[in-house]
Copies of this chain bind each other. A is one copy, B any other.
Amino acid sequence: MAKAFSVQATIASFGGNLLKLEHNATSTGSTMKLNLFLPAQAEKGKVPVIFYLAGLTCTGDNGAEKGFFQATASKHGIAIVYPDTSPRGLGVQGEDESWDFGTGAGFYLDATKGSYAAGYKMSSYITKELPVALYGQFENLDSSRVSIMGHSMGGHGALTLFLRNPGMYKSVSAFAPISNPKNCPWGQKAFGGYLKSEEEYDEWDATELIKKWGGDFEALIDVGDADNFYNHGQLLPENFIEAAKSKGKADKINLRMQKGYDHSYFFISTFSEDHINYHAKRLL
């Protein structure tokens, strides 16, 4: 298969390598950058893969530099993909006017509204184009053993992409996820800007999607109780738990309220080992 990615840099990290990749993505119609951590074990054989979806304003660099996932992934022999959070440079009107919409805020959905509908297709990019391209070029990524996790907007992305694509991911976890976007300011702004009708909101809202999930549901979710966004009603993890309970799907959701922790990468790095170990149990 043709090589989709150009390797901008190869950086040694925890016995493996962090690759800075760039490719022309057709689903977004833009050049997309990402980081790929390949553990040493990938030199000898197939390794499972975890996608880490970052939050508002982030790129694929934040998790790779501050999340500290490589430390634990390297012990288990797991690769980590750190995609960007939106297309960049499309020139869509309004995409750079605020930090919580447009550039850096793609919300991991497929936009249907106005000029955003052309390139803001992060759901298709993350679940279809990106993995196909990665597995084609990096043959030791095991496409049959893939999990997903994320932070804030990316935590919601992890939950929704897991719930919208049964069987695609072995496990899901989230740090401080936006859990019920149609009922919080960030989500209402994003859905209102990306989706052409309110009927579409439920298709991209984790709290609505869990109600339609068939079979067991299992997840690890950490939220800091000193997280200002949680305390201002942007995350609403309780709504997700309540919805899961209403359908008898809450027993295996481990929501941990972490005392004193905020929304930052200091919170994420503290619990990154737990999340990688959680996925490792289901991938190895």
Question: Oligomeric state, in number of copies?
Answer: 2
Q: Are B12 and A261 in contact (CB under 8 A)?
A: yes
CA distance A12 to B15 in the complex (A): 29
Q: Indicate whether A260 reaches chain B with its CB closer than 8 angstroms.
A: yes
A262 and B71 contacting across the interface, CB-CB below 8 Å? no
Interface SS of chain A: mixed
Distance to closest chain B CB from A55 (angstroms): 16
Given known contacts A66-B65, A66-B66, is B71 in contact with A266 (CB within 8 Å)? no
Q: Is the CB of B71 within 8 A of A12?
A: no
Residues of A within 8 A of B (CB): 11-15, 17-18, 65-66, 68, 70-71, 224, 226, 258-262, 264-267, 269-270
Q: Check A18–B65 contact: CB distance below 8 A.
A: no
A270 to chain B, nearest CB (A): 5
A269–B265 alpha-carbon span in the complex (Å): 15
Q: Which residues of B contact A226 (CB under 8 A)?
A: 12
Query: What CA separation (Å) do A106 and B11 show in the bound complex?
Result: 28
Is A14's CB under 8 angstroms from B270's CB? yes
**Bound-complex Cα distance A14 to B68 (A):** 12
Given A71-B68, A71-B71, A13 and B224 touching (CB < 8 A)?
A: no
